[in-house]
A = this chain, B = another copy of it.
Amino acid sequence: MDWERIARTGTSEAVLCEPKTPRQIEAIVRHAQELDRRLLLTRLDRDKLAHLDAKILDYDDVSRTAILGALPPPRAPPRVAIVCGGTSDVAAADEAARTLAFEGEASSRYVDVGVAGLWRLMEHLDDIRAHRIVIAVAGMEGAIFSVLAGLVPSAVIAVPTSIGYGVAAGGHAALNAALASCASGLAVVNIDNGFGAAHVALRMLGASIHRTTMRPFMPASK
């Protein structure tokens, strides 16, 4: 872990587990324990979890995230709404929610409010508009991104997901829909990147926790 980076820029102590071996992940976790530091593990599947000391980790099956150490008390009321096109998009949505919670930000979740049944969205619209930031999570054609950005004045962050088949497979149709939206002011992140969306939100909220104590960026070169 690059503890230096955390000290300097206020980014989160997070580990993307997918391309790492169990041994590499275990070493990082042990090192964090020795330094008495909190840690967020993302894209950690059950197979790799089995190599770790599960007792010390707060693991969540849906989002495939694990947290080492205590969560800060959540800030109330929630400033971030997470809106989910379909039940299958919950994995990415919860990755975002857990990443926010790790930094002390609460979030409200609205599931299965896709455009095929627009009244579901309409029923929740006033609630959603009450949040400063909206994270919209959807696969397939991603029409919800444009609909939401046209309905709320909040900052809207689009997380396209890889849910879908045929031309939707992989998430590129949803990604392009978010980028090409006729509704202005959509901020887009990579496919399935709930973690990244949470960090866009955190930067927006100015909430990253070490900022005040950050060291000067760059030492003199030799």
Contacts and interface: CB of A to CB of B under 8 A. Distances in A.
Interface of A: 2, 4-5, 8-12, 14, 18-20, 24, 85-88, 112, 114-120, 122-123, 125-126, 129, 132, 139-147, 149-157, 162-193, 195-196, 199-200, 202-204, 206, 208, 211, 214, 216-222
Given A2-B112, A119-B218, A218-B221, 12 more contacts: A11-B184, A115-B150, A116-B150, A117-B150, A132-B206, A142-B177, A155-B203, A172-B176, A177-B177, A179-B190, A216-B222, A219-B221
Given A140-B181, A177-B173, A180-B168, A208 B153 contact: yes
A171 B123 CA distance: 33
Nearest to A87: B24
Nearest to A180: B168
B120 A4 contact: yes
- Stoichiometry, copies per complex: 8
A72 to B, nearest CB: 18
A166 B157 contact: no
A151 B186 contact: no
Contact of A218 (B86, B125, B162, B193): B125
A177 B171 CA distance: 11
A166 to B, nearest CB: 3
A182 B141 contact: yes
Contacts of A157: 187
B182 A115 contact: yes
A199 B217 contact: no
A172 B208 CA distance: 31
A20 B88 contact: yes
A95 B101 CA distance: 36
